[in-house]
Amino acid sequence: MFEMMFDELLKKYDEDFNWSFIVFTNKYFIEEAKREIKKGHPLYGETIYSTAKCDSNDDVMYVISGERYVIIHLTYSGNTDISYPHFILFKNLEEALNYIEKRYLQE
């Protein structure tokens, strides 16, 4: 489902589209998110799988429990503030992809 819907955006905007598909098991982005999400953060303890990466910033989209999606702005730092990393939670894939498309068109 994800791959099909994401592929529609890629075809619609061609090579100018600034998001790239990444496999669910890409350990690099999963481990970075886990490293940055500290105890007390709203996403702490969630099982996450990476799905897509924005090529123009450090945003990565993940699927989490309940088939919800979240875009996390990774900091790649040792920040200990539990309000980081910033994130946007979506109730489903369609909502997440609509947000990505809207942001792409605004940039």
Residues with Cβ within 8 Å of 47's Cβ and at least 6 positions away in sequence, in order, are 64, 65
Torsion sign across C-alpha atoms 59, 53, 20, 102 = negative
Which pLDDT score is estimated for 106? 86
34-63 per-position pLDDT tens digit:
999 999 999 999 999 999 999 999 999 999
Which pLDDT score is estimated for 105? 85
Across the range 7-27, mean pLDDT stands at: 89
- Cα–Cα dist 20/53, whole Å: 5
